[in-house]
Chains A and B, each alone.
Chain A
């Protein structure tokens, strides 16, 4: 019997009599073992190459798929096409000079990478940032989460044949990009943080733009919700596909929405709070089946929660109007340009910082933050000089992608595309 006919039974029961969404039973897509015979394709063994240049691989990823009929026996991923040696390069750069490199790792959420690096360097130095700076960094992280999830949602929709939500998602993403541009001067390579503070405060009236976004965005999310959540095709392609139970998700070191969709309620923002996240009011969505559909639900809800956090952060920002942005330590933060040009002392500090850089004491620090794709960790080892001995990036999508062969076992070839999309990878971070 072909599996396709079973799937069609999903068509209508996704809403119950009261209009509430109903989960299709997991058995909708039984797992098929080796030797499965499909009438259309037979059981012939094939080796299919996908990528590295293919829109559905979300970057330069090559998948070698071993098939038996239409059933996947094994997936062998090949990565490294975008390897740029950031970790090596980091050993030749000052700490503040690492920040532009972080933009280019997870380039779908550049601002939260910037924040993580600043946090790691500050942990090495043992300093605390100002309250206003922490609020701005929370805003940066949550804006990043929204744009990253929007790209995920749009491209995954396209991979499964839904074009319209892609346009809605990218339209909203554009609004955040405009705000990002107004704040940092760049859309993608933001480099917004500095060790001990921020590169710049937000410009006058910027908060109004973000408030407008927070008002309008939930409406778009509702539209996407209506389009996808009860859609028979979407449910059929995602429910029960690429599922991984909680214990295995932990064993594979999955993190972020991938882990939470499997029912493990671990979110760094709540369980290892940084930047005062424990003082914000937000919920952490957790799935139960660990399939693509649950990952979708988790990410959709996370965007709503991010909007909540943004609104609270904007209220605090208003209260902190005029409060200092950077720590007041001339060894860390550049003096204002006017003072550097008129005051001898300030000029010396300016010169020393630019030429020598910030020098943390010898030691090591690991900081993990909840990036949109999972736990991003920066592990810095210092020998007391201005350049790190080692800058290790714990790349969440590298570790999540490592589970792809397991997620694809016994799935159909068309599911490989959906499962790969659901992992939410970004090759800049995987290959570094």
Chain B
């Protein structure tokens, strides 16, 4: 139950120093990676015959209440045929650039998940083809709601929120893919 996934040894053999600590949390293996190698690791896990992590369960991020602790981006992978799961993490310094490489080229399903992490945490996914906000509207000016420095009721007062909501143009709310030109249809 509490044994490390055998994939960890494979990862260490293939990527050496890029693989940080690995631990077992409630029965699931968690591996911390070097940010620069995330994409290579994900591709290797997906394509390497013995691994076969072909299914992306989820992408999310975690920020701890302790301001000293780094932000984490979390990938949950699954090998459907082997019924095995693996959780990967990258730690980001909140003061540094919040950016990790995209994996939309590996999994199409990553598209909206990465957009949500960007929207909620302000973590950019370099190379994402269409990194717009997804749950909040594009002109939303209060920041990224799931960050711990974001108050539960938002940064702005209720009066300011109402003023902004009434003042914006409706179409300003909707960001469109960069190659879709609404004017063309006007």
A151 CB, min distance to chain B CBs, angstroms: 24
Known: A250-B55, A365-B26, A379-B58. A402 touches B109 (CB 8 A): yes
**Which residues of B are found within 8 Å of A64, using beta-carbon distances?**
174, 176, 180
Question: Is A364 an interface residue when CB atoms closer than 8 A count as contact?
Answer: yes
**Which residues of B are found within 8 Å of A124, using beta-carbon distances?**
26
Count chain B CB atoms within 10 A of each CB in A88, A252, A253, A383 and give the residue with the most: A253
Which of A71-79, A133-141, A211-219, A341-349 touches B?
A71-79
How far, in whole Å, are A46 and B184 apart by their CA atoms in the complex?
9
Question: Is A366 an interface residue when CB atoms closer than 8 A count as contact?
Answer: yes
How far, in whole Å, are A394 and B60 apart by their CA atoms in the complex?
9
How far, in whole Å, are A250 and B52 apart by their CA atoms in the complex?
12
Asked if B26 and A123 sit within 8 Å, CB to CB, the answer is yes
Known: A250-B54, A399-B112. A383 touches B65 (CB 8 A): yes
Q: Write out, one digit per residue, whether chain A residues 218-250 have a CB within 8 A of any chain B CB (1) or not (0).
A: 000000000000000000000000000000101
A387 (CB) vs chain B CBs: closest residue: B65
Which of B12-20, B35-43, B129-137, B160-168 touches A?
B129-137
**Which residues of A are found within 8 Å of B87, using beta-carbon distances?**
366
Known: A47-B185, A64-B176, A365-B26. A272 touches B83 (CB 8 A): yes
Residue of B62, B109, B110 touching A390 (CB-CB under 8 A): B62
Question: Is A5 an interface residue when CB atoms closer than 8 A count as contact?
Answer: no
How far, in whole Å, are A390 and B83 apart by their CA atoms in the complex?
26
Question: Is B64 an interface residue when CB atoms closer than 8 A count as contact?
Answer: yes
Known: A79-B134, A89-B152, A392-B58. A383 touches B80 (CB 8 A): no
Question: Is B95 an interface residue when CB atoms closer than 8 A count as contact?
Answer: no
**Which residues of B are found within 8 Å of A279, using beta-carbon distances?**
none
**Which residues of A are found within 8 Å of B174, using beta-carbon distances?**
62, 64, 78
Asked if A389 and B58 sit within 8 Å, CB to CB, the answer is no
Question: Is B34 an interface residue when CB atoms closer than 8 A count as contact?
Answer: no
Question: Is A85 an interface residue when CB atoms closer than 8 A count as contact?
Answer: yes
**Which residues of B are found within 8 Å of A392, using beta-carbon distances?**
58, 60, 62
Question: Is B107 an interface residue when CB atoms closer than 8 A count as contact?
Answer: yes
Asked if B57 and A271 sit within 8 Å, CB to CB, the answer is no
Asked if A87 and B26 sit within 8 Å, CB to CB, the answer is no
Question: Is B68 an interface residue when CB atoms closer than 8 A count as contact?
Answer: no
**Which residues of B are found within 8 Å of A266, using beta-carbon distances?**
80
Number of interface residues of A (CB under 8 A): 52
Q: Write out, one digit per residue, whether chain B residues 43-87 have a CB within 8 A of any chain A CB (1) or not (0).
A: 000000000001111101011111000000010100010010101
Q: Write out, one digit per residue, whether chain A residues 16-51 have a CB within 8 A of any chain B CB (1) or not (0).
A: 000000000000000000000000000001110000
B83 CB, min distance to chain A CBs, angstroms: 5
How far, in whole Å, are A268 and B17 apart by their CA atoms in the complex?
35
Interface size bracket, B side: 35 or more
A63 CB, min distance to chain B CBs, angstroms: 12
Question: Is A369 an interface residue when CB atoms closer than 8 A count as contact?
Answer: no
B181 (CB) vs chain A CBs: closest residue: A47
Q: In chain A between 358 and 374, which residues have their CB closer than 8 angstroms to a CB of chain B?
A: 363-366, 368
How far, in whole Å, are A329 and B125 apart by their CA atoms in the complex?
45
A123 (CB) vs chain B CBs: closest residue: B26
How far, in whole Å, are A236 and B155 apart by their CA atoms in the complex?
52
Known: A368-B57, A431-B135. A363 touches B109 (CB 8 A): no
Asked if A250 and B80 sit within 8 Å, CB to CB, the answer is yes
Asked if B107 and A251 sit within 8 Å, CB to CB, the answer is yes
A401 (CB) vs chain B CBs: closest residue: B112
How far, in whole Å, are A85 and B107 apart by their CA atoms in the complex?
26
**Which residues of A are found within 8 Å of B76, using beta-carbon distances?**
366, 377, 379, 394
Count chain B CB atoms within 10 A of each CB in A85, A254, A363 and give the residue with the most: A85
Question: Is B25 an interface residue when CB atoms closer than 8 A count as contact?
Answer: yes
**Which residues of A are found within 8 Å of B182, using beta-carbon distances?**
47
B119 (CB) vs chain A CBs: closest residue: A80
Known: A76-B180, A365-B25. A398 touches B112 (CB 8 A): yes
**Which residues of B are found within 8 Å of A394, using beta-carbon distances?**
57-58, 60, 76
Question: Is A291 an interface residue when CB atoms closer than 8 A count as contact?
Answer: no
How far, in whole Å, are A238 and B14 apart by their CA atoms in the complex?
47
**Which residues of A are found within 8 Å of B54, using beta-carbon distances?**
250-251
B1 CB, min distance to chain A CBs, angstroms: 10
Asked if B180 and A80 sit within 8 Å, CB to CB, the answer is no
A68 CB, min distance to chain B CBs, angstroms: 12
For the complex of A and B, 4 pairs with smallest distance between CB atoms: A253-B109, A402-B112, A365-B26, A47-B185
10 contacts between A and B (CB under 8 A): A45-B185, A64-B180, A76-B180, A88-B146, A123-B27, A250-B80, A264-B80, A366-B26, A377-B57, A389-B62
